[in-house]
Structure 1
């Protein structure tokens, strides 16, 4: 599972956009977004670099990932 910090999220639309970006890479991915802490947890077989790139391409740069 990847844990990402995505500071630019501020609303439900942001959550939907981030989730959609990850699901476009892996439709079976599990995506949990905590808007209050601005954390995204992703369970996927797709490499971390691809996940962070997809989220950044959706307009939400990832500030930290593990």
Structure 2
């Protein structure tokens, strides 16, 4: 499981964009988004956390460890 703090994620559209970015590198992962806490939890991820964080960054959001 990987957890990320995504500071600029503030709406449903942002959550969808981040979810799509994660699914691009981890298509079978379960992705839970908590907009209030600005947290993204990726369960069942086989890849390294930095690869997921980079995909979120490529979508326009800065992701760091939570």
* Shorter-chain TM-score tier: over 0.9
1:11 and 2:11 matched: yes
Q: Which runs of 5+ in 1 are unaligned?
A: none
After superposing on structure 2, the runs of 4+ consecutive aligned residues of structure 1 that deviate more than 6 Å are: none
Over the aligned positions, Cα root-mean-square deviation in angstroms equals 0.9
TM-score when normalising by structure 2? 0.93
Aligned residues: 65
Tell me the alpha carbon deviations over residues 7-50 of structure 1, each in whole angstroms, 9 at most, x when there is no partner. 10010000000000000112101100000000000121011010
Q: Which runs of 5+ in 2 are unaligned?
A: none
TM-score when normalising by structure 1? 0.93
